[in-house]
Homo-oligomer: A and B are copies of this chain.
Amino acid sequence: MSATAALRIGEVAQRVGVTPRTIRYYEELGLLGSGSEREKGSHRTYAETDIARLQELIRLRDLLGLTLEELVELAEAEEARAALRDRWEEDPSDEERLRIVEEAIPHVERQLSLVRGRQATLEEFAAELEAKLERLRRRRREPAR
């Protein structure tokens, strides 16, 4: 995993507003990068980038209502990218950096389009509610229909 602070599961959980159990569960589903390698039985460690990633997942879950299964699909696409990002810290040759960035872009674009789509749907809904409101207000002014 990236070489930042090295947080443990409890603090990560607190900071993103979930329980440790949730984090382990997500790892079990393959949503988190399988924690690199880790001696069986030793404590899990996380870096800031892992927190960012987890928060992203939580938001996709909460704001778009994606199921964990759907998140797994999304994440699988990102797996390759995460693997590359690991090597970023080690030996980031310019050429490799470019490849990493170029892989990341369509992934973020995909997320963005999901968000934009949901926004559009919500806008439709809002418009209908506005129309309804206006009808009601008109009726209030002129009771004779």
Q: Is A83 positioned at the interface, with any CB of B under 8 Å from its CB?
A: no
- Establish whether residues A139 and B62, one from each chain, have CB atoms under 8 Å apart when the complex forms: no
Contact flags (1/0) for A22-64 with B, using CB distance below 8 Å? 0000000000000000000000000000000000000100110
> Which residues of the other chain, B, contact A116 by a CB distance below 8 angstroms?
126
Residue of B nearest to A104 (CB): B136
* A contact residues, total (Cβ < 8 Å): 34
Query: Which of A4-12, A69-77, A105-113 forms contacts with chain B?
Result: A105-113
- Establish whether residues B136 and A112, one from each chain, have CB atoms under 8 Å apart when the complex forms: no
B-facing residues in A54-110 (Cβ within 8 Å): 59, 62-63, 65, 94, 97-98, 101-102, 104-105, 108-109
> Which residues of the other chain, B, contact A123 by a CB distance below 8 angstroms?
119
Please give the distance in Å from A85's CB to the nearest CB on chain B. Answer: 12
A125 to B139 Cα, complex, angstroms: 38
Given contacts A112-B129, A136-B108, contact A119 B121 (CB under 8 A): no
- Establish whether residues B122 and A115, one from each chain, have CB atoms under 8 Å apart when the complex forms: yes
List 18 A-B residue pairs with CB atoms under 8 Å apart, sorted by A's residue number.
A59-B125, A63-B121, A63-B122, A63-B125, A94-B143, A94-B144, A98-B143, A101-B140, A102-B140, A104-B136, A105-B133, A105-B140, A112-B129, A112-B130, A112-B133, A119-B123, A119-B126, A122-B122
